[in-house]
Amino acid sequence: MPTFTTRDGVELAYQDRGGDGFPLVMLPGWGQTQAMFRHQFAGLADGHRVITLDHRGHGLSAKPDHGYRIARLAADVDELLDHLGLDEVDALGWSMGVSVWWSLMDNSGTGRVRRFIAVDQPSAVAAVPWMSPREQAECGAIFDVDTLLALGGSLAGPEGDKAREDFVRGMFPAGAPEDVWEFVTGELATVPAAGAVPLLFDHCAQDWRDVLPAIDVPTLVMGAEVSHVSVSSQAYVADRIPGARLHVFTADVATSHFPFLVNPPAFNAVVEGFLAD
């Protein structure tokens, strides 16, 4: 697998698949790897140059002792585009990967993004005390601050591996395909707690609500009826981004926070349809 080295000296693994189609850069979420998009490599590569990245500390990328912040991950993506000589791409993020794109656009604008796809990520994860109850509900906050701190302590503790699996298991409904779950836990095991815990805390501490109205490129927001991320939070994101579309996977089509894994054809068809418009 090819790699490149960031300006702060970290070797990151990426894949660059597909032919002469317009580049589509896909970013995975917290604790997960570019292998999450294994069904998109084949399903989308005919019409797109599919590019994926293992974030620092994840998958086949190096596990440094620094840089576990969303802003640094966004800089890593910017440097990957420089490395590949790409001035403009279609950008897809899933879960924390959406936040990485939001950070990149917040810092550098949308000049490198032709179209944007945001998959199942709230605009703010932590229900901080200075948000009103209405604001907490609108943005789809998942944790209050005490719960976030307790989760971080559990993840960093002696039973951290079990805490991490329990946390991710909660993103799957009862009866989820066991092979999908086993695949996800295998990828989760590639991320050391020393990087995963501070990154999760930084990710959950961000509030992207003020960034959304500045996104001035065609945008698709994707959610699922059966997900720990509320559909209303995805409707809020789509409403705040000018002209954005919303697609919600119904329970009979794709369940869980991982629609690209549980029903790849349906997920790929929605992505293809948006990028083809």
pLDDT, one tens digit per residue, over 76-117 is 999 999 999 999 999 999 999 999 999 999 999 999 999 999
pLDDT attached to residue 170: 83
Q: What is the mean pLDDT of residues 167-194?
A: 86
pLDDT attached to residue 167: 86
Percent of the chain with pLDDT over 70: 100
pLDDT attached to residue 234: 98
Q: Is 90 exceeded by the pLDDT of residue 18?
A: no
pLDDT attached to residue 106: 98
Q: Which residues neighbour 183 within 8 Å (Cβ) at sequence distance 6 or greater?
A: 35, 261
pTM of the model: 0.96
Percent of the chain with pLDDT over 90: 84
Q: Is 80 exceeded by the pLDDT of residue 175?
A: no
pLDDT attached to residue 72: 98
pLDDT attached to residue 42: 86
pLDDT band at 251 (very low <50, low <70, confident <90, very high): very high
